[in-house]
Amino acid sequence: MNRPSAHTIEFSDGVFAIDTEYARPMQDASHLIVEGSKAAFVDTGANDSVPLLLDALDQCGLTPADVDYVFLTHIHLDHAGGAGLLMQQLPAARCVVHPRAARHMIDPSKLIAGTIAVYGAETTQKTYGDIQPIDEQRIDIVEDGQWIDFNGRKLQTIFTEGHARHHYVLNDPTSRGVFTGDAFGVSYRETDTDNGAIIFPTTTPIDFDPEEAHKSIDRIMACKPEHVYLTHYSKVVDLERLAQDMHQAIDDYVEIALANEDAADCEQAIQDGLFDYMCGRLEKHGFTGDRDEMWSIMSIDVRLNAQGLDVWLNRRRKAQERAGAAHG
């Protein structure tokens, strides 16, 4: 069987974006870092993405044996669902994860159960297939601020736990960039205008923490990058503006959630509010598509963000109840 051909974009300093073809074109990227004769992946997409990642290696004149690392910024399945299957093809690679993520890659049963809770069993199986475990002996658990030597290229893991408690970003001074997973939001190339990129936070279930999300933006910017590489979708610049937009949008998301906390269908009300908010920002940014086109681009994020904000509201409410009971 012929291997599918990967759509890749080559940037400078040995960085390539690979379209994982998750959900739709240019929705989800894996990044390949090539340093000399060695390679490393940052995030993997789902199982169906693995042949594309292997083809990208081939396009670069490299083999699976040349891959030293698979960096997983976090283990939501659009980022790490294919990691176990990919590792089976990479005889020398180490899988680099946050301390809270390791046990779920060794035994993905709870990860799968959590995904089923969000998407349902049928959609989970169709989208992600059978999630493969990773041998514990092939997993490297990193510390906050740790530097890793990748064939002479220094890469740093920085914990950014606002999107997920098991999230880190990968600082790459060689490319003057940071691979941000979901910690610096999502920005789709279809929504670029003459004003540049537009960016939105991602508040998917279950760990969204607004305070930590703000800290994550600041920690990324403290690396003084010239650009960041988003999983959704790849390279963006003009970071001072985008960081300010992210800080404002995190607060706006929280305000939308709190405004709808007492709605009969809280999650649906948040979803409606988020979509109206995104449409307003897109129109102000100069995007000329209608609401149907906006929905086709942003619908996955609108739905998941609404779920995540609803979970955050419930967690916040329970914390307030516990605090009230403690002082009662």
pLDDT value at residue 299:
97
Q: Domain extents for the chain?
A: 8-244, 259-326
pLDDT for 115 = 83
Q: What is the pLDDT of residue 322?
A: 86
* Structure token pair of residue 47: 């199982």
pLDDT mean by block of 10 residues, the chain; 328 residues: 86 98 96 98 97 98 98 96 98 98 95 85 90 97 98 98 97 98 98 98 94 98 98 98 98 98 97 98 98 97 97 94 77
Token couple for 275: 């979509």
Helices (H) and strands (E) in the chain, counts: 10, 13
DSSP string for 173-241: TTTTEEEEETTT-B--GGG-BTTB---B----SS---HHHHHHHHHHHHTT--SEEEETTTEEE--HHH
- pTM, full prediction: 0.96
Dihedral sign for Cα 112, 144, 96, 94, please: negative
Tokens of 25: 């074109």
10: phi then psi, degrees, rounded to nearest 5:
-95, 125
Could you tell me the strand order of the sheet in which 38-42 lies?
8-10, 15-19, 29-35, 38-42, 67-71, 94-97, 139-141
Homologous superfamily of the 8-244 domain (CATH): Ribonuclease Z/Hydroxyacylglutathione hydrolase-like (3.60.15.10)
What pLDDT score was predicted for residue 323? 83
Question: Taking a C-beta distance cutoff of 8 angstroms, is the pair 200, 185 a contact?
Answer: yes
Predicted pLDDT of residue 1:
45
Residue 114 confidence (pLDDT): 83
Report pLDDT for 328.
Answer: 63
